[in-house]
């Protein structure tokens, strides 16, 4: 299957609500110290782009620029043609779930739905849809501190999906989870993004995770990060058995290629 078949196009109904991203000659400095760039990148509607690189190369900074939380020092970032608006242009998931621990799952999701302007009467239906989408049916009345770390991260994903933003940004969301939970969440995220067709940018250290999730992987050089490698991931995205995929020769060849590029870029 070619990468163009995997990457949904603008005509695909699943991507009609998806964002494009254009990053042109972008650098970002904190107090005069350049953290990332110069970077040029284009993300097409419906793509699942994964940014990989060594610690400190600027992955989170790039994601924060796309979210509009930071402004580029040079160059421009455009989401569907306009400057990103913090908290509006994208649903964002961080490494820690950042939920209200004393509230229930329902309470956390209802806040997100209210913030997204969803009518009170529609909230129960939307909430049930979101919980089903992230595999959390039956947990609505549990408090955040009563559920596991993996379940909390699922709530964070559901919350980020609540506003139906055309862009979904995730910054190492599974880094703190055990290996099995991490694999389950990767599988669910792969399914959810395939269902919604939403443009997604995901940050990770892991070559394995990058190849499993991405329709394209971008490896950054060590800080200040620039693009060291862009690799289309030509693995099937719909109706796949996750274990078979992880054990396939194609998956492992791509994984080795990305891991090698990360190592080389970090040493350069």
Ligand X SMILES: Nc1ncnc2c1ncn2[C@@H]1O[C@H](COP(=O)(O)OP(=O)(O)OP(=O)(O)O)[C@@H](O)[C@H]1O
Instruction: Decide the pairing of beta strands 91-93 and 33-43.
Output: unpaired
- For residues 45 and 11, what is the distance between their CA atoms, to the nearest angstrom? 10
Q: Is there a contact between 253 and 261 (Cβ–Cβ < 8 Å)?
A: no
- Spell out the alpha helix ranges (H) of 46-178: 59-67, 105-115, 123-133, 149-162
Radius of gyration of the chain (CA): 18
**Chain centroid to CA 212:** 13
CB 204, min distance to ligand X, A: 9
Helix/strand/coil for 261: helix
CB 58, min distance to ligand X, A: 4
If the CB atoms of residues 53 and 173 are measured against ligand X, the closer one turns out to be 53
Bridge partners, 51 (sequence order)? 203, 218
CB 218, min distance to ligand X, A: 12
> Would you state the torsion angle of the CA atoms of residues 75, 81, 84, 85, taken in this order, to the nearest 10 degrees?
140
If the CB atoms of residues 161 and 170 are measured against ligand X, the closer one turns out to be 170
If the CB atoms of residues 68 and 135 are measured against ligand X, the closer one turns out to be 68
CB 184, min distance to ligand X, A: 23
If the CB atoms of residues 70 and 183 are measured against ligand X, the closer one turns out to be 70
User: Using alpha carbons only, what angle is made at residue 90 by residues 202 and 178, rounded to the nearest 5 degrees?
Assistant: 35
258: tokens are 């990305």
If the CB atoms of residues 29 and 111 are measured against ligand X, the closer one turns out to be 29
CB 172, min distance to ligand X, A: 7
If the CB atoms of residues 205 and 257 are measured against ligand X, the closer one turns out to be 205
CB 238, min distance to ligand X, A: 31
CB 261, min distance to ligand X, A: 15
- For residues 147 and 151, what is the distance between their CA atoms, to the nearest angstrom? 6
Q: Is there a contact between 18 and 43 (Cβ–Cβ < 8 Å)?
A: no
If the CB atoms of residues 34 and 248 are measured against ligand X, the closer one turns out to be 34
Interface residues with ligand X (CB under 6 A) are: 30, 35, 53, 55-61, 205, 223
């Amino acid at each position: 299957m070619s990468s163009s078949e995997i990457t949904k196009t603008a005509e695909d109904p699943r991507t009609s609500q998806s964002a494009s991203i254009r990053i042109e000659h972008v650098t970002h400095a904190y107090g005069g110290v350049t953290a990332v760039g110069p970077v040029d990148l284009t993300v097409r509607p419906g793509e699942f782009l994964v940014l990989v690189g060594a610690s400190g190369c600027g992955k989170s900074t790039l994601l924060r620029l796309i979210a509009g939380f930071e402004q580029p020092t040079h160059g421009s970032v455009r989401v569907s043609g306009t400057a990103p608006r913090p908290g509006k242009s994208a649903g964002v998931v961080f490494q820690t779930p950042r939920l209200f621990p004393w509230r229930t799952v329902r309470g956390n999701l209802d806040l997100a739905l209210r913030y997204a302007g969803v009518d009170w009467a529609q909230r129960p239906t939307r909430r049930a849809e979101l919980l089903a989408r992230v595999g959390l049916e039956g947990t609505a009345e549990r408090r955040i501190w009563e559920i596991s770390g993996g379940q909390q991260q699922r709530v964070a994903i559901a919350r980020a999906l609540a506003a139906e933003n055309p862009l979904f940004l995730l910054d190492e969301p599974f880094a703190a989870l055990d290996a099995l939970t991490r694999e389950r969440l990767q599988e669910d995220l792969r399914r959810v993004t395939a269902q919604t067709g939403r443009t997604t940018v995901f940050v990770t250290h892991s070559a394995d995770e990058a190849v499993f999730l991405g329709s394209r992987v971008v490896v950054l050089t060590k800080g200040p990060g620039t693009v060291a490698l862009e690799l289309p991931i030509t693995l099937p995205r719909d109706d796949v058995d996750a274990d078979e995929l992880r054990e396939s020769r194609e998956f492992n060849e791509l994984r080795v290629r990305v891991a090698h590029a990360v190592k080389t870029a970090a040493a350069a």
